[in-house]
Amino acid sequence: GEALEVTREVNCVVDFIHGCEDQLQKLKKQKEKGLLYGIPVSIKDHINCKGHVSSGGMVKFLGQVMEEDSVIVQVLKSQGAIPFVKTNIPQTMINYDCSNLIFGQTLNPLDHQKSPGGSSGGEGALIAGGGSILGIGSDVAGSIRLPSSFCGLCGLKPTGNRISPSACSDRTFVLAVTAMLGPMARDVDSLALCMKALLCQEMFRLDPTVPPIPFNEEVRLRGNPTPPFSQQ
């Protein structure tokens, strides 16, 4: 409901992922509760979800319905998350704004006169508008970091090949900088939880090219800055 309201206002959702309710019922029956149990997660347009189109903001891909979930979506589901919407991007994703000729312009929920940034602009707008608490974007040269900055959120571009890149493998750009999928959320703890959930045996099994290195909580905490004076 929240996502619908936000997208009416800023045009950030391009598709609702069917089967959410069925997945929730399945999860309730599972004995093992994943790290992201019951958390709805928004997904950037180009990341493959079974039964949905990964348009890349381009008309030529609108007829291609994906036959299976990408590795990251499979892993999210195995950890109990519920992918529930796909979000808008600029055409071809090589842009720091967020509009295309299919779904139109996404606005910044904090100021409708401004852009949410790109290319994970739909994610930035949806999360900042209160329609999602955790999203998956992608980043080559700022596509997670820019919308996170423009929308006042936290985002992470992980180290290259840390997360399985098999999102839309049939139309890979040849780039000098590694494209990476990564989380976007309202706080750093949510990013850390998402990374911890993704870097699991299921991902390493589904994509053997990903180095099987789990998330290191100690390294994260070691990097924490000194807390503000008010907390000392």
Catalytic residue numbers, as ranges? 44, 119, 143
The single-letter DSSP state of residue 229 is: G
Task: Produce one character per residue of 187-222: b if its CB has 16 or more CB atoms within 10 Å, e if not.
Answer: eeebbbbbbbbbbbebbbebbeebeeeebeeeeeee
CB contact set of 139 (below 8 Å; sequence gap of 6+)? 120, 145, 155, 157, 179, 180, 182
In 1-69, where does DSSP find H-type helix?
2-10, 20-29
Residue 83 — φ and ψ, nearest 5°?
-60, 125
Q: Where do we find the tokens 């029956």?
A: 29
CA distance 142 to 126: 18
Roughly what angle, to the nearest 10 degrees, separates helices 2-10 and 121-128? 120
- Three-state DSSP state, 9: helix
